[in-house]
Structure 1
Amino acid sequence: MVSRRSVLRTVPLAAAALTATPGQSRRLDESSTSTHAVRVPPDPATMAAAATAVRGFSADLYRELASTRPGGNVVCAPYSVNLALAMTRAGAGSTTADEMDAVLHAPHPRPGALDSGLNTVEQTLATRYQDGDGVARPLLTTANALWTRLGLGLRPGFQDTLAGYYGAAPHPVDFGGAPEVARQEINTWVSDRTNAKIPELLPSGVVSPDTRLILTNTTYLKAAWKYRFITTATTTEPFTRDDGSVVDVAMMRGPFDPMGYQEGDGWRAVDVPFAGDGLAMAIVMPTRDDLAAIEANLDVTWLGALLTGFGIATVQLRLPRWTFRLPAELAALLSGLGMPTAFTSQADLTGMSTDPALRIDDVLHETFIAVDEKGTEAAGASAVIVRPPSIPQGPQFFVNRPFLYVIHDRFTGVPLFLGRVHDPLATGP
């Protein structure tokens, strides 16, 4: 199980080259001047590579997180974690930067292509969904922020990258004199941007007087189904868990309408559309082995093929309701994925600040999801904490056993939320 208090560590490094404008790199040093007062325009040419990178990181993150919770529900918002780590990567150098690029599946040339691509993805999704009402059109919002200790000297190039590509301006807070006040301020910012679904991303004690920076992302979704489930026809039906035990759950009797459908080796899947047809929830059920066998093989290729391989069939759908929340610390997981240096005294984050000897101390993530007859509400939040060392009749699809789900944008192929339902009645870890 992933503990609530795992830690990511980070320390002194050499200066890193960061992108000043798309396609142009420069060295971070004291003479750098801030050039990005506004968000850099999206570059459509970077979209495909960035979407592939997000899928790769999403598959890796979910696969490792799921392996820590055998027999339990899982949910995460890999897109949120990706953005928080990419902002951190903007201040990394040497081996730390190389390892983070590998974990993030960063496209070439590094690091500019990652920053430019994620900027394009984020702004494209915002254009489509940030003004939605959550009913006729999905509402999807993201927000990024940089929280800094009072008086901390930031590298201008680091500020440029975060402001221009992530829309994240520094928020000075009194980590040194009033860490609890700072923690509450950050938690309020997160709660306000997740419709209070994640009220306390940072638990008590995680912010200390020696905290230097915290980088945060929030991702919030509210979307109604394109085809409404019939509330009056909802019944209780058996749901068989992987261990063979059976629980009675509220099974929503869904639409009998055209939607995405495909079959693979040992699994089949349906893609349930949200209103507006841009977002959907892909639901994958095993047909041979248990769900763990599918999860063990989940990688960038498999996830990309899933999200782009749906044909259309008229599906008779039954789906359980579920509500679930999972707080997690990702330090050990990310280290295991290939960025261990960021957790040691050899970490290099000198691209962030003139303050020597910084390390990533914690990477916290929390995700909430609620699915019912009307639609889905989901929220994810991530924080990287930096201090000195010490995200016609067709097939029947009765979802009555553990399943994997992926909420994704159909246009870009970007996965937003991934999860597993092992027990629809469970509401937390």
Structure 2
Amino acid sequence: MVKFKKFCVRGLIVVVTITGVLFSVIGCSTKISNTNTVIDENTDKETNKETNKETNKETEEEKGVNQEVETNTDLKINDNNQPEVDFTKQAVGFSVELFKKTRKPSENSLVSPISVLMALSMTANGADGITREEMQQLLASGDSIENLNIYLDTCRKQLISKDSKLSLANSIWFRDDKDRLTIEQEFLQTNEKYYDAEIFEVPFNKTTVDDINKWVDKHTQGMIPHMVDTLDNDSIMCLINAVVFDAEWENVYTKDKVFNGTFTNSNGIEQDVQMMLSNEYSYIDEGNVTGFIKNYKDKQYSFVALLPNEGISVDEYVESLTGENLLSVIESAQSTTVMTRLPKFEYDYEIEMNEALEKLGLQTAFDVNHADFSKLGSSKEGNIFIGRVLHKSYIAVDELGTKASAATEVEMRDGSALIEYSVTLDRPFVYVIIDNTTKLPIFIGTVMDIVS
């Protein structure tokens, strides 16, 4: 049984968020469904989606089977007909390391690794050179971004089945300024193909800020109503992922299973909480941590609770955690009855991930001088780089189940390399307006005074 002291739960961890680690634990098929559909650019995207769904449904019903075919892409396959890189293991490892670098000690933390992975992988399709190599190493353990696209496309389609409790949405918003910005069409097409990304060419003004926030609000079911405050003058693109998880427990808590209890926080302060009592049937005891696994309805997803032993803080345990260790802990759960008490809780979380991702290996992507996103496009205002990676999340756990949502924004900016010289016209000056072909002056003038 899980050890409790006077109905007090010490530093309960929801690892690492339902939509992150458990997505990775489930894993995805190495086979890719044949969904090659050409969409007329002049036809409404949503209409085509519905039409394609109905067509695919009818085709499957006629055949009586759900057919899967081997992908005709260049996914690297070994002698055992498996990808050379174990993307599931890689995704779990990324999830854990990202959580370790983005959590705030002694505070509630929540990240959705799948959301971050989706947003960064879309961005990676625009990277080249060293920047691409760094993103491949972090996101795909050195394998190609092309193979990562295939893997995530497969996972996305498996995760968002008709009856799924999980939904994912992606979008790309770029500045409507052809004199300044040129976007590579292949970059947009790749992200539309593999990530079903909605593409928006917009003016990057207050209206765009409102539209982005409305999009995030819609695709997080109102759990994250506000994503961005402003778009700076050097902002040229936003790549956004939104994820929603809304699932009922397999066995909901009845009123007689909810009672007043005590939770001792990380500062040793006791708090009055609503505890939920149940018997579960997957018990975890890994030596320095105990816990349990509680299923959601239909058993497609589970809630994994890990409680460090007395004398081991949550901070210490998280720092010792690895992706491989987390997989081992979950897979080694014992099939036995365990009495559990889970507090009701609700909170949100926000973090800018630039520093964390730099520590994880993205050394050039945030560097205005060295970032290489030439496959994304080019700007006359300077080099394109990642300005920020913003992540917002929300979770609520109660008697009925769990609602959780997250959104990740990768904001691309343009700018010049470190400027050694500057000129400030704050005193009288001469100016010339010239024809660039002949270099002939059209106007020459001086400014001696600024007339109000």
Distance 2:170 2:271 in 1: 40
Q: CA deviation at 1:244?
A: 2.4
Distance 2:185 2:201 in 1: 15
Aligned to 1:412: none
Number of residues of Structure 1 aligned to a counterpart in Structure 2: 337
> Is the contact made by 2:127 and 2:375 (CA closer than 8 Å) also made in structure 1?
yes
Superposition CA RMSD, Å: 2.3
1:64 corresponds, among 101, 108, 118, to 101
Aligned to 2:215: 189
Aligned to 1:387: 413
Distance 2:241 2:129 in 1: 25
Residue 112 in 1 paired to residue 138 in 2? no
1:149 corresponds, among 175, 178, 186, to 175
The one-letter code sitting in structure 2 at the alignment partner of 1:87 is: M
Q: CA deviation at 1:102?
A: 2.2
The one-letter code sitting in structure 1 at the alignment partner of 2:111 is: C
Residue 266 in 1 paired to residue 288 in 2? yes
Distance 1:282 1:59, change over 3 A: same
Distance 1:332 1:107, change over 3 A: closer
Residue 328 in 1 paired to residue 351 in 2? yes
Aligned to 1:51: 88
Secondary structure of the 1:238 match is strand
Structure 1 unaligned residues grouped into runs of 5+: 1-21, 23-36, 133-137, 391-429
Q: CA deviation at 1:363?
A: 0.8
Aligned to 1:212: 236
The one-letter code sitting in structure 1 at the alignment partner of 2:157 is: Q
Residue 294 in 1 paired to residue 317 in 2? yes
Q: CA deviation at 1:126?
A: 1.3
Q: CA deviation at 1:170?
A: 2.0
Residue 241 in 1 paired to residue 276 in 2? no
Aligned ranges 1:130-209 → 2 under 5 Å? 131-132=162-163, 139-150=165-176, 151=178, 152-175=181-204, 179-202=205-228, 204-205=229-230, 207-209=231-233
Q: CA deviation at 1:210?
A: 3.0
Q: CA deviation at 1:103?
A: 2.1
Residue 281 in 1 paired to residue 303 in 2? yes
> Is the contact made by 2:125 and 2:190 (CA closer than 8 Å) also made in structure 1?
yes
> Is the contact made by 2:172 and 2:240 (CA closer than 8 Å) also made in structure 1?
yes
Distance 2:70 2:390 in 1: 28
Aligned ranges 1:83-102 → 2 under 5 Å? 83-102=118-137
> Is the contact made by 2:85 and 2:143 (CA closer than 8 Å) also made in structure 1?
no
Secondary structure of the 2:268 match is coil
Structure 2 unaligned residues grouped into runs of 5+: 1-31, 33-47, 53-67, 72-80, 417-452
1:348 corresponds, among 369, 372, 381, to 372
TM norm structure 2: 0.70
Q: CA deviation at 1:342?
A: 1.0
Aligned to 1:250: 274
Secondary structure of the 2:336 match is strand
TM norm structure 1: 0.74
- Name the structure, 1 or 2, with higher relative contact order (CA <8 Å, separation 6+): 1
The one-letter code sitting in structure 2 at the alignment partner of 1:103 is: L
> Is the contact made by 1:216 and 1:382 (CA closer than 8 Å) also made in structure 2?
yes
Q: CA deviation at 1:268?
A: 1.2
Distance 1:165 1:387, change over 3 A: same
Q: CA deviation at 1:304?
A: 1.9
Aligned to 1:414: none
Distance 1:65 1:118 in 2: 23
Distance 1:252 1:311 in 2: 22
Aligned to 1:30: none
The one-letter code sitting in structure 1 at the alignment partner of 2:121 is: A
Distance 1:50 1:41 in 2: 19
In the TM superposition, what whole-angstrom CA distance separates every residue of 1:75-133 from its partner, at most 9, and x where no partner exists?
111110110001111111111112222222x0454121111111111111112xxx33x
Q: CA deviation at 1:311?
A: 2.8
Secondary structure of the 1:212 match is strand
Identity %: 27
The one-letter code sitting in structure 1 at the alignment partner of 2:287 is: D
Q: CA deviation at 1:313?
A: 1.5
Q: CA deviation at 1:214?
A: 0.6
Aligned to 1:378: 404
> Is the contact made by 2:92 and 2:323 (CA closer than 8 Å) also made in structure 1?
yes
> Is the contact made by 1:230 and 1:253 (CA closer than 8 Å) also made in structure 2?
no
